[in-house]
Amino acid sequence: MEKKVLTLIVPAYNEEAALEAFYKETSRVEREMAELCEFEYLFIDDGSKDGTLAIIKKLHAYNRRVHYISFSRNFGKEAAIYAGLENASGDYVAILDADLQDPPALLPEMWRAVTEEGYDCVGSRRVTRAGEPPIRSFFARAFYKLINRISKAEIVDGARDFQLMSRKVVDAILSMGEYNRFSKGIFGWVGFKKKWLEYENIERVAGETKWSFWSLFKYAVEGIIAFSTAPLMISILLGIALCAAGFVMAVVLLVKLIAGAPVTAAGGLTLLILLVGGLVMVCIGISGQYLARTYLEVKKRPIYIIGEAELENSYK
Ligand code: UDP
Ligand code: MG
């Protein structure tokens, strides 16, 4: 019987310092799994500005099972994952980071779960956040609590994009062709029988994280907006609360006037204007966010653009 093929999708953005260590480690795991399956590598160079693509080409020259897609510019990890899934030809597909924060040593266990234990997909989650700035961990936890309250898709705290899945899960994910891709939500939304492996946080082998606090904040907003319409509800509730407060205030003023009490409203009025003005801005902002997303979806732009690629010899 022919051996099954496992495609490793590796998004890489400025990872020249980490790639060789990554390849060394995955090759070691490949030898360990030689009896079970064959590896196919699919590197997605996400518009790197360093020697990432050159190293990938070197690996390709050395191993014909190394394939790559190089984007015309940086499109982000979500786009890289999509491109990988779209072009992977393996029977099974795994997604893992180039910096070895997603330990390839877990692959054999993941493989067993989908081939022997009847799971469709195996995800991984970090149970510690060691090595991360405490403030970042705090906001990350708050984000997961919030989004799970207001969204139907299950979004697991500490879940990594690192996972191994069968063809049908890949097809399900690809069927969600949305432009604003929040993978953590998409992976949960498609459902299927999923097993979770837990491991302690590992620091990246080389290079630097591509996430600043601001980019994480934007990512969080992206997630909430893509998977929940609760914020629109919040703006409606705020509006109702304000109207009620205004009504009460009007009654109070009227009573005062009738009673002949002096009404000096300048201070209160300023406060009120600021408050209402602020809230109106927030609500318009929230609707604006949804509108902007809708605009982007309606335009049907491609999720990524290929600069060059080497996909030959794949099984496709
Ligand atoms: N990455 C990417 N495009 C980007 C940013 C990151 O393809 O615009 C890749 C990066 O090369 C790495 C993975 O996504 O393989 C995770 O990035 P990083 O390690 O910076 O994130 P962290 O692990 O700190 O969350
Ligand atoms: Mg990392």
Give me the pLDDT at residue 265, please.
66
Residue 84 Cβ contacting ligand 1 at under 6 Å: no
Same domain assignment for residues 276 and 247: yes
Same domain assignment for residues 213 and 234: no
Q: Once rounded to an integer, what is the mean pLDDT over residues 9-13?
A: 95
DSSP state of 106: G
Same domain assignment for residues 177 and 241: no
**In the chain, pLDDT over 70 holds for what percent of residues?**
96
Residue 22 Cβ contacting ligand 1 at under 6 Å: no
Does 110 have pLDDT greater than 70?
A: yes
Contact by Cβ (8 Å): 110, 32: no
Same domain assignment for residues 56 and 187: yes
Residue 97 Cβ contacting ligand 1 at under 6 Å: yes
Mutate to test the pocket of ligand 1, among 56, 77, 183, 204 (most ligand atoms within 8 A of CB): 77
Same domain assignment for residues 239 and 283: yes
Contact by Cβ (8 Å): 176, 102: no
* CATH number of the domain bearing residue 70: 3.90.550.10
Closest ligand 1 atom to Cα of 97: 15
Same domain assignment for residues 104 and 215: yes
Range of the domain at 58: 4-227+303-310
- Angle 230-259/134-150 helices, nearest 10 degrees? 90
Q: Of residues 82 and 156, which shows the higher confidence score? A: 82
Q: Write the pLDDT tens digit of every residue in 211-251.
A: 788 888 888 888 888 778 778 778 878 888 887 887 787 78
Structure tokens at 56: 């990938």
Give me the pLDDT at residue 146, please.
86
DSSP 272-295: HHHHHHHHHHHHHHHHHHHHHHHH
Question: Domains in the chain: how many in total?
Answer: 2
167 in any annotated domain: yes
Give me the pLDDT at residue 316, please.
44
Q: Write the pLDDT tens digit of every residue in 157-175.
A: 778 889 999 999 999 999 8
Contact by Cβ (8 Å): 207, 99: yes
